[in-house]
Amino acid sequence: MKIYTSLFPPIKGEIGPKTEVNESKCKTCNSLLESNFYKKIEYVFDDWNGEDLVKGIGCYLVSDRLKRILEDKKLKGISFKEIIVTKGDYFKFKSKAYQEEIPSFFEIVIVGTSKGPDTWFKKGDICNECNKPSWAISTEGIKAMVKSQDNQDVIPRQVYRDSWNNEDAFKLEDPADPIFTENFINVLKESKVKDVTYKEAQWV
């Protein structure tokens, strides 16, 4: 089973003012205490061209159509939360939109977890108060995430095979993007989800 990180779905708008976030932070280290940053997302679409998977800041959103497919396929490691869909002031339907109204969208909450070596992020001290480590992006991480997507010289995202819980989507401990299995990618391909490109991660 191959694994991938960064699906690079298109950004189609921005997080809106009705968005509610989980703000409770550790008083000592300032880490977020909830694993999920958003309580409820409002996503303001600038346009819609039939995309079923879109990206916001620190979140992936799926259309009602894709949510139903992912549920039917019983993919593991994800759950869904309703979001508020709003059209921006200059919103446009584009020619590839497959229906005349913008669909409902849901946040994919990644509940799967796994572990990997500290390559893109270096683990710092563990906080006495909340037991969470601090994370600092490494030079390799900057190369991998900030520089060109197809840069071949970067260390791929790495996952310990022994730590995998057979989930199709999972997060590592560090703050980088989640990992998706080949199984997950194949469902996206079969369902003709648009504009999704991905990068292989590596078992170690």
Residue 124 Cβ vs Zn ion, minimum distance, rounded to whole Å: 12
Which of 15, 109, 127, 196 binds Zn ion (CB under 5 A)? It is 127
Q: In whole angstroms, give the CA distance from residue 132 to residue 105.
A: 32
Output phi, psi for 165, to 5 deg: -100, 30
Residue with tokens 């280290």: 29
In whole angstroms, what is the distance from residue 51 CA to residue 60 CA?
Answer: 12
Among 32, 97, 102, 130, binds Zn ion (CB under 5 A): 130
79 is a contact residue toward Zn ion (CB under 5 A): no
Count other Cβ atoms within 10 Å, centred on residue 5.
Answer: 23
Q: How far is the CB of 36 from Zn ion (least distance, A)?
A: 17
Give least dist CB 27 to Zn ion, A.
8
Closest to Zn ion by CB, 131 or 186: 131
Binding mask 16-35 for Zn ion (x = CB under 5 A): ----------x-xx-x----
The dihedrals phi and psi of 190, each to the nearest 5 degrees, come to: -60, -35
Phi/psi for 186 (5° steps) reads -65, -35
Asked if 129 interacts with Zn ion (CB under 5 A), we say yes
Binding site for Zn ion (CB under 5 A): 26, 28-29, 31, 127, 129-130
